């Protein structure tokens, strides 16, 4: 694994060496080209490279954004592997969210002016210096919100808000179980739950994260143990809401823990990712472990099972108005200082492989951000690139992360 980490480091150094020697960011501004992360094919980290591409121009109804920061999600890792339904053709520029400054607008585009600070959803192409996206997917951000915070805000907080309040109807006195409580969505869920009186949050996370997130979650459990009996020791009747980004055997466990009138929501399937590349065995195992849902049983037990995909809602199902309403409510909570995105670390575009390795290792607490203007930094020993490159026995490795030395990062 150390050898694999060295190979990644060497590739990153080559990326750095290939950059223009004199202020590459300024050079790009003056040309019709831009830097972008390109996925050349589905597979491992070696399928990612930073290259120059023609700069897009806004079409009618679109906003052109000079990108300052991009969000990195576990979904991006699954896209890289081709581990999603109907994957797009490669080569492509990954990424679904960004923040930056409006540089120009297309014809018949109202509501935005050059210089506006914004965050945006993008149907791919976010990991670049410039993006163009329809105005319905763009939102102005508060003056005191940083660009990394804005890039950490859109997907995670909107998904958390809509699941809690639109799908599950969170109310005072309810209880919520959320997996990956230390991740960006998990932390958004915890913060939003704190805005409702007397909500109990049960969370699972890798042990090394517990100290950092213990104040945001009421009851915290090791993700590697059977959490069902632990939850029932505290709440014998179970919980009102289960938010599951894991899938597999956790589906059955989540349904078991639901109280009558409770809601289970699946919004991810990260258990299907084990190695660096797509694994049919992991996919089959996760699928096999999913409890087959019997509608009659749901009827008898008064339980609700639901799914939530923010990107499908936005890009395939015409949910722009619903999402915009959620964004407005969330920005109001931000202005009231009730919520604030948790940024784990900032990475240069050329460091995307190391950033992806960190999220693969579940090493992040909060959101990983690609900072477009950040210069690459020399890689440190004991970086996350040394571990889990092959993804073997990932669950056991996570238990060892308590003593793992992490690479320094900027917040």
pLDDT string in tens for the chain (411-residue length) = 444 444 444 554 454 444 444 444 443 444 689 999 999 999 999 999 999 999 999 999 999 999 999 999 999 998 999 888 888 999 999 999 999 999 999 999 999 999 999 999 999 999 999 999 999 999 999 999 999 999 999 999 999 999 999 999 999 999 999 999 999 999 999 999 999 999 999 999 989 999 999 999 999 999 888 999 999 999 999 999 999 988 777 888 989 999 999 999 999 865 454 445 544 444 444 444 456 778 888 889 999 999 999 999 999 999 999 999 999 999 999 999 999 999 999 999 999 999 999 988 888 999 999 999 999 986 533 333 333 333 333 333 333 333 333 333 333
Tokens of 168: 């599950």
Q: Show the tokens assigned to 381.
A: 């020993």
The pLDDT assigned to 362 comes to: 84
Sequence-ordered list of residues with C-beta below 8 angstroms from that of 242, at least 6 positions apart, any chain: 176, 177, 254, 255, 257, 258, 262, 263, 264, 265
Q: At 368, which helix (H) or strand (E)? A: strand 367-371
* CA-based R_g, the chain, Å: 21
Is the distance from CB of 363 to CB of 401 less than 8 angstroms? yes
The pLDDT of residue 296 is 86
- Dihedrals phi, psi of 138, to nearest 5 degrees: -115, 140
pLDDT in the model for residue 269 = 66
Instruction: List b or e across 318-336, with b for residues whose CB sees 16 or more CB atoms inside 10 angstroms.
Output: ebbeebeebbeebbebbee
**Burial of 399 per CB tally in 10 Å (0-12, 13-18, 19+):** middle
Please, where are the H alpha helices in 261-340? 280-289, 295-301, 310-315, 320-335
User: Using CA atoms, how far apart are residues 377 and 75, in angstroms rounded to an integer?
Assistant: 25
Q: Which residue, among 410, 322, 321, 323, has the nearest Cα to 370 in the 3D structure? A: 410
pLDDT at 338: 97
pLDDT value at residue 264? 95
Please name every residue paired with 64 in a beta bridge, in sequence order, or none if there are none.
104, 132
Name the pTM for this structure. 0.81
Cis peptide upstream of residue 125 (ω within 30 degrees of 0): no
pLDDT at residue 379, rounded to an integer: 54
* Strand partners of residue 370: 70, 347
Beta bridge partners of 39: 48, 92
Helix or strand (DSSP H, E) at 356: helix 352-360
148 Cβ neighbours under 8 A, 6+ residues apart: 69, 99, 341, 343, 346, 369, 371
């Amino acid at each position: 694994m150390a050898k694999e980490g060295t190979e990644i480091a060497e590739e990153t150094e080559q990326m750095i060496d290939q950059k223009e020697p004199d202020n590459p960011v300024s050079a790009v501004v003056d040309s019709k080209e831009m830097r972008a992360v390109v996925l050349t094919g589905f597979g491992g980290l070696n399928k990612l490279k930073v290259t120059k591409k023609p700069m897009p121009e806004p079409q009618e109804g679109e906003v052109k954004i000079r990108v300052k920061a991009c969000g990195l999600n576990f979904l991006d890792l699954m896209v890289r592997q081709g581990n999603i339904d109907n994957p797009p053709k490669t080569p492509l520029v990954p990424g679904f969210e960004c923040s930056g400054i409006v540089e120009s607008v297309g014809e018949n585009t109202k509501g935005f002016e050059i210089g506006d600070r914004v965050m945006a959803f993008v149907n791919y192409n976010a990991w670049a210096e410039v993006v163009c996206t329809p105005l319905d997917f763009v939102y102005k951000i508060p003056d005191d919100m940083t660009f990394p915070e804005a890039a950490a805000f859109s997907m995670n907080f909107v998904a958390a808000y809509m699941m809690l309040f639109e799908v599950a109807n969170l109310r005072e006195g309810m209880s919520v179980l959320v997996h990956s409580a230390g991740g960006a969505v998990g932390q958004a869920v915890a913060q939003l739950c704190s805005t409702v009186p007397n909500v109990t949050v049960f969370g699972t996370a890798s042990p090394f994260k517990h100290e950092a997130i213990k104040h945001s979650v009421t009851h915290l459990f090791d993700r590697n143990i059977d959490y069902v009996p632990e939850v029932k020791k505290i709440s014998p009747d179970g919980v009102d809401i289960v938010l599951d980004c894991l899938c597999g055997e956790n589906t059955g466990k989540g349904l078991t823990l639901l109280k009558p009138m409770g809601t289970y929501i699946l919004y991810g399937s990260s258990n299907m990712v084990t190695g660096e590349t797509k694994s049919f065995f992991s996919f089959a195992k996760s699928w096999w472990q999913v409890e087959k849902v019997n509608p009659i049983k749901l009827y008898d037990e008064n339980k609700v099972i639901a799914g939530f995909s923010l990107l499908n809602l936005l890009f395939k199902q015409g949910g722009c108005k619903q999402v915009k309403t959620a964004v407005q409510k969330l920005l109001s909570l931000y202005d009231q200082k009730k919520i604030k995105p948790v940024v784990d670390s900032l990475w240069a575009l050329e460091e995307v492989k190391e950033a992806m390795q960190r999220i693969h290792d579940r090493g992040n607490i909060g959101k990983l951000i690609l900072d477009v203007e950040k210069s690459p930094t020399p890689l440190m020993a004991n970086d996350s690139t040394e571990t889990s490159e092959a993804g073997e026995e990932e669950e056991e490795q996570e238990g060892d992360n308590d003593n793992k030395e992490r690479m320094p990062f900027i917040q």
